[in-house]
Amino acid sequence: MITEGQALARILENVSPRRTRTAPLIQARDRFAAKDVVARVALPGFDNSAMDGYAVVAAACAEGKSQRLIGEQPAGVDRELRIEPGETVRVFTGAPIPKGADAVVMQEDVRVEGPEIFVNTKVEQGEFIRRRGCDLSEGQKIVETGTRLRAQTLALLASQGFADVEIGGEVRVAIVSTGDELVPPGGHLGAGQIFDSNSVLLQSLVKKYGATIADVRHCPDEAAAIERAFRDALQFDVLIVLGGVSVGARDLVKPALNAIGAQTDLWRVSVKPGKPFLFGRAGHCFIFGLPGNPVSAFVTFLLFVRPALLRLMGAGNDELPLARTNAILAAELNNDADRPHYVRGQIAEGKFTPIGRQESHALYGLSRANALLRIPPGETFRAGTSVLVIPLD
């Protein structure tokens, strides 16, 4: 059986970013930049006042000395005013600095008497002037290909006058849940049946990471129905199949993939939960088979599907690993299995506490977990030691 690392490497060597598109800034949050972007205007674009106050020549402002008020410079226009030593111009925050001025005095530090002002403080050269280009120069790189566009980055692009940005392509995902026992939420549950919870889980996760849900279906455990659903899904970028990838007689996903001519690149990974995970492809559609137990589906999505979706969406390498953070382990944990075990837990005030039943069907515990801890096979982690956990939120 291959390791998690080998599985992920095999998946990532197959998927490559989809065709890029141009999007208005406001629709680009959490998408990935498809091009480097370079500043085309300096920030600030001109010397301007950081305060409501008075522009002066610092050297002429010995304490108590009066300055002659010769005009007013608001923000939004440049009146091209000029001052000589001993003169001053009323300025407002963001207003262009009059020529000759080398400082701004806050209005709180000034007494105004008719056409004169008296400065009640020491004035330093350069004070309260925001110099052109002090934040950013023209030509400086402001966005790197493959990085996530955050609100702050989008604001920076807006400050450059860009109305839109080149981002990674849309990734359309079809989800097919399989199983005779499944009833859609809202339906009527017969004896021996369960509600289909994975479909909602996977739709939510796919949306969370920014891909598009193109189609959602449920199939009974019948070869013909499953094959038909798969064929229909191949028009999309990704097919996520839920359940039916194990080794039982009712596990029809692998034979169905064979029947429609899809290629299975890997099946079964050394991970707990999630061993029966499958990855394959047909044409330009990438196929992920997730085990039906909800925790297995969740863990294999995070480990294998999430990075593939991000790569298809144009994410750079830095974006692919799951974030990890240090925590102190509240209770001893050991893994006597031969596969790495992802333990569900809660992290609070720097402490990780396992939560709920650690079995792959235990959805309630998963619903309360906000972090996962990976324990390598055969290892014991003692209470009180520092461990690296994967936050989920």
335: partner contacted, choices Mg ion, ligand AMP, none (Cβ within 5-8 A by kind): none
List interacting residues with ligand AMP (CB under 6 A).
177, 179, 181-182, 194, 196-199, 242-244, 246, 248, 251, 291-294
Phi, psi dihedral angles at 213 (to 5 degrees): -80, 115
Which residues, other chains included, contact 371 with Cβ-Cβ below 8 Å and sequence gap of 6+? 327, 344, 345, 346, 347, 352, 389, 390, 391, 392
Residue whose CB is less far from Mg ion, 88 or 296: 296
CB atoms near residue 199 (< 10 Å): 21
**Is 128 within 8 Å of 53 (Cβ atoms)?**
yes
Query: Which of ligand AMP, Mg ion, none does residue 177 bind (CB under 5 to 8 Å by kind)?
Result: ligand AMP
Q: Record the tokens describing residue 319, joined without a space.
A: 């974006």
User: Least CB distance from residue 182 to Mg ion, whole Å?
Assistant: 8
Minimum CB distance to Mg ion smaller for 219 or for 387? 219
Q: Which two tokens stand for residue 111?
A: 């007494």
**Do residues 313 and 19 make contact, with C-beta atoms less than 8 angstroms apart?**
no
Q: Please, what is the minimum distance in Å from the beta carbon of residue 305 to ligand AMP?
A: 15
Choose between 5 and 248: whose C-beta lies nearer to Mg ion.
248
Closest Cα partner for 222 from 178, 176, 191?
Answer: 178
Query: Should residue 291 be labelled a site residue for Mg ion when binding is judged by CB under 5 A?
Result: no
End-to-end CA distance of the chain: 31
Is the Cβ of residue 228 or residue 250 nearer to ligand AMP in the bound state? 250
CA nearest neighbour of 196 among 144, 133, 244: 244
Q: How far is the CB of 156 from Mg ion (least distance, A)?
A: 49
Please tell me whether the peptide bond between 273 and the residue prior to it is cis, using omega within 30 degrees of 0: yes
Q: Least distance (Å) from ligand AMP to the CB of residue 273?
A: 10
Q: Contact between 356 and Mg ion (CB under 5 A)?
A: no
Interaction pattern, residues 236-255, with Mg ion; x per rule: CB under 5 A: -------xx-----------
Q: Tokens in use for 199?
A: 């479909």
Least distance from C-beta 210 to ligand AMP, angstroms? 23
* 371-375 vs 341-348, strand pairing mode: antiparallel
Q: Which of 132, 128, 82 is nearest to 107 (CA)?
A: 128
Ranked by CB distance to ligand AMP, the top (closest) residue is: 292
| Shortest distance in whole angstroms from residue 197 CB to ligand AMP | 4
Q: How far is the CB of 217 from ligand AMP (least distance, A)?
A: 12
- What whole-number distance in Å separates Cα of residue 211 and Cα of residue 313? 8
Query: Counting Cβ atoms within 10 Å, is residue 180 exposed (0-12), middle (13-18) or buried (19+)?
Result: exposed
Q: Is 289 in the site for Mg ion (CB under 5 A)?
A: no
Helix residue ranges per DSSP H, 217-352: 223-233, 253-259, 294-300, 306-312
Residue number, 193 or 370, with CB nearest to Mg ion: 193
Q: How many angstroms separate the CA atoms of 106 and 128, rounded? A: 8
CB closer to Mg ion out of 96 and 243: 243
Min CB(243)–ligand AMP separation in Å:
3
Closer residue to ligand AMP (CB): 90 or 344: 344
Q: Which of residues 153-182 bind Mg ion (CB under 5 A)?
A: 179
User: Between residues 88 and 300, which has the closer beta carbon with respect to ligand AMP?
Assistant: 300
CA-based nearest residue to 142, from 210, 43, 46: 43
- Establish if 294 lies at the interface with Mg ion (CB under 5 A): no
Q: Which of the listed partners (Mg ion, ligand AMP, none) does 87 bind, with a CB threshold of 5 to 8 Å by partner kind?
A: none
Quote the least distance from Cβ 266 to Mg ion, whole Å.
Answer: 20
Q: Which C-beta is closer to ligand AMP: that of 199 or that of 358?
A: 199
Binding region for Mg ion (CB under 5 A): 179, 243-244, 292
